[in-house]
Amino acid sequence: MKIVKLNLLVCPLTFAATLFSANTTIAQTYPTKPIRLIVAFAPGGATDTFARITAAELTRTLGQQVVVENRPGAGTTIAAEFVAKSAADGYTLLLTDLSTHAIMPSLYTKLGFNHGRDLIAVAPVSASPLIMAAHPSLGAKNAKELIALAKKNPGITCGNSGAGTVTHLAAEKFRTRAGIDLLSVNYKGGTTSTVSLMTGELSLIVNTIPAVLEHVKSKKLVAIGLTADKRATALPDIPALGETVKGVDAAVIAGVLAPGNTPRAIIDRLNAEFAKAVDAPKAKEVFLVNAAEALKQTPEVMQRALEQDAKTWAEVVKVTGVKLN
């Protein structure tokens, strides 16, 4: 019997060539059916607003419908776990803010998924400050007046978009830095907290700009300030909380994540498409009105940014003492 000796040095090269060819084929054929873009918040907030404008652009450029599906609750973990356990084929994506990767791991003692393994960065979308707004009956028109009022009347109710979200932690950050007592009230999205504020059930909220801006313009709500060190060029009449209290900056950094084993070719294709989407004229218009900045980064840069944000917000969680089961 003749023994055939294989040249093992050729095998890795052959494997690499086969893998490259497979990835190229995937990139050329994807997508072949509609894509679900799962949003971790209720309709009406910044993340949802930016999801819908980018989904519309991707529908046009990809030639397949990109359908926005809202799955709010549990500080983004409901939506995150759903996507983490979905097929890693590029047809189920998560659009969320930094809460999922940067805040939840520090807040929850146990999650139903591994945020670092089961979800990977695809593309950033936008960054925008939050806004603190008050019901007119509260009697405070700015951060200085709010602090003075809160010191005389501890326990002012302050709503947010959900326990452990950036709106919740931003309020806690302001509370600790200002040395006042606020009572956090957690909702399942910015729209419901805004409704409660307008009806007078709440005295104060920290929310995304799209959720409250029109109500501020119509004088139904009072803008206490943006969670930033300086005023936004697009909203010069709204003060920055940093003008009164230092170190209270907080932003909604929205981005797209995919199940952990999604093929790299699909990740790269989506990254390029989202970069084009945030540059589209309509998207730029929506971002400008809401004092948002369009973001474009490679998946690697985005992943490193998420890891750094996790360290930053872990310190905020530690200082504020917020903990969830």
pLDDT tens digits for range 150-165: 999 999 999 999 888 8
CB 133 within 8 A of CB 224: yes
Q: How many whole angstroms from its chain centre is CA 112? A: 19
pLDDT of 10 above 90: no
Q: What pLDDT, on the 0 to 100 scale, is given for residue 3?
A: 43
Q: What pLDDT, on the 0 to 100 scale, is given for residue 61?
A: 96
Q: What pLDDT, on the 0 to 100 scale, is given for residue 21?
A: 47
Q: How many whole angstroms from its chain centre is CA 294? A: 13
CB 227 within 8 A of CB 250: yes
Q: What pLDDT, on the 0 to 100 scale, is given for residue 26?
A: 67
Residue 124: what residue type?
P
Beta strands in 103-147 (DSSP E): 119-134
Of 322, 304, 303, nearest to 314 (Cα)? Answer: 322
- Structure-block tokens of residue 221: 């709500």
| CB proximity list for 221: less than 8 A, separation 6 or greater | 133, 134, 135, 136, 197, 198, 212, 215
The more confident residue out of 2 and 267 is 267
**Structural domains in the chain?**
10-128+252-320 (3.40.190.150), 130-243 (3.40.190.10)
| CB proximity list for 200: less than 8 A, separation 6 or greater | 135, 137
- Structure-block tokens of residue 308: 């750094």
pLDDT of 125 above 90: yes
Q: Residue 240's beta-bridge partner residues? A: 226
What's phi and psi for 161, nearest 5 deg?
A: -85, 0
pLDDT of 276 above 80: yes
Q: Residue 66's beta-bridge partner residues? A: 35
Provide the 10 A C-beta neighbour count for residue 232.
Answer: 19
